[in-house]
Every structure is written in structure tokens, then in C-alpha cells.
Amino acid sequence: MSQLDKQNCPIGDALSEIENLKRSEKVIANAKALGVPPSLGAKDLLLGNTKLNTLFVASIFNTKHGLEELNEEELKTIGILDDDIEGLRDERVARLWINSLNIDGVYVEDLYDDFKDGVLFCKVVNKLNSTAIDWKRVELKPKNEFGMNGNNGVAINACKASLKMKMIGIGGKKHC
């Protein structure tokens, strides 16, 4: 904690204490000096409860993380990532990758909804290989599930034929 605030938490303050309870009390006191809301006592810290100790460390980080301020470029990136808190990692990575392709008129917010009609899938494949998609076979505004499935089928066939991808167990049909 002295790395976060040398003035309020002197270097070696708690580490110089030999007795565990007194060391724990100094750790709690240093946390209070940082402005960490009280979440456990010195004895609780010594019990080694993983959940409580993790909560305590998280409280320290949330109160005084010690990270440098973000520059303008990083703040712009945060604007893109700000909506990703709840997303699954793979879904988020796929969305960010697709958005980084800079496809005209494409910004993916919800991978599943945006890919549902197959048009975006075709655009991504087309970006990877501009001759892969036969646009005459793509229904740009599909009216029903058959059109959507047809578009997905076009994209999947293009992945197999033009991009030489092995796509086992994947088809254009929507499975509910």
C-alpha cells in the first residue's frame, strides 16, 4: 500500500511487525488511510477466507488503483469497450475484430442479432476475400427465416470454398 500512498502508508510499516495480528491491524489501518471502506477486521484478514480477502483487495484497488491516467487514444478505446462489461470474452473479441475491419456501414453491437440475417456474415467474408461472395445469391433484406438461412449458407460455402476453412458441423440453418 505504500506504493499507492507513501505519505499515509509508510514503506515497511506493516511488514516490520512480527506478530501476525498486529501486522494485520496495520494493514487494515493503512487501508483506512487510503480511504478503503471497512469490509473486514484484522482477525478476519488472518483467517485466510479467500472471498473476504479478495473483496478486501478489490476494495483497495477500487479506492486507489495507482494506475496512470488514460491518454486520449486510450479514452477512445474505452468508448468502444465500455459496452463490453457483460459480454462473453469470445463474443467481445469477435465484435472488436469485425469492427476493426472497417467495413463500410458496419458497426457490430450485438454479434448474435447483427449476424442473424447473414448479410453481415457475407460482408465479413467479402472483406477477407473480395471474390468469395456471389452477391447475386445474397438477399440484402431477407423477408423471412429462409432468406436469412440462405444468406448464412452463402457465407459458409464461401468460407469453405474460397477461404479454405474447415467448418465441421456448421450450416446455414438457424437452430433454436
Residue where one domain finishes, among candidates 67, 90, 116: 67
The per-residue pLDDT for range 99-137, each reduced to its tens digit, is 999 999 899 988 889 989 999 999 999 999 999 999 999
User: 3-class DSSP state for residue 140?
Assistant: coil
CA 84 – CA 4 distance, rounded (Å): 28
Mean pLDDT of 9-26: 81
Mean pLDDT of 161-171: 82
pLDDT at 119: 94
- Nearest CA among 142, 144, 83 for reference residue 110: 83
CA 83 – CA 135 distance, rounded (Å): 32
Any domain includes 166: no
Residue where one domain finishes, among candidates 23, 52, 67: 67
pLDDT at 176: 42
Residue where one domain finishes, among candidates 67, 82, 98: 67
* 34 and 107 inside one domain: no
How many residues in the chain? Answer: 176
User: 3-class DSSP state for residue 174?
Assistant: coil
Q: Residue 124 sits in which domain range?
A: 72-161
The per-residue pLDDT for range 23-69, each reduced to its tens digit, is 888 888 888 888 888 888 889 888 988 888 888 888 888 888 777 77
Give Rg (Cα) of the chain.
26
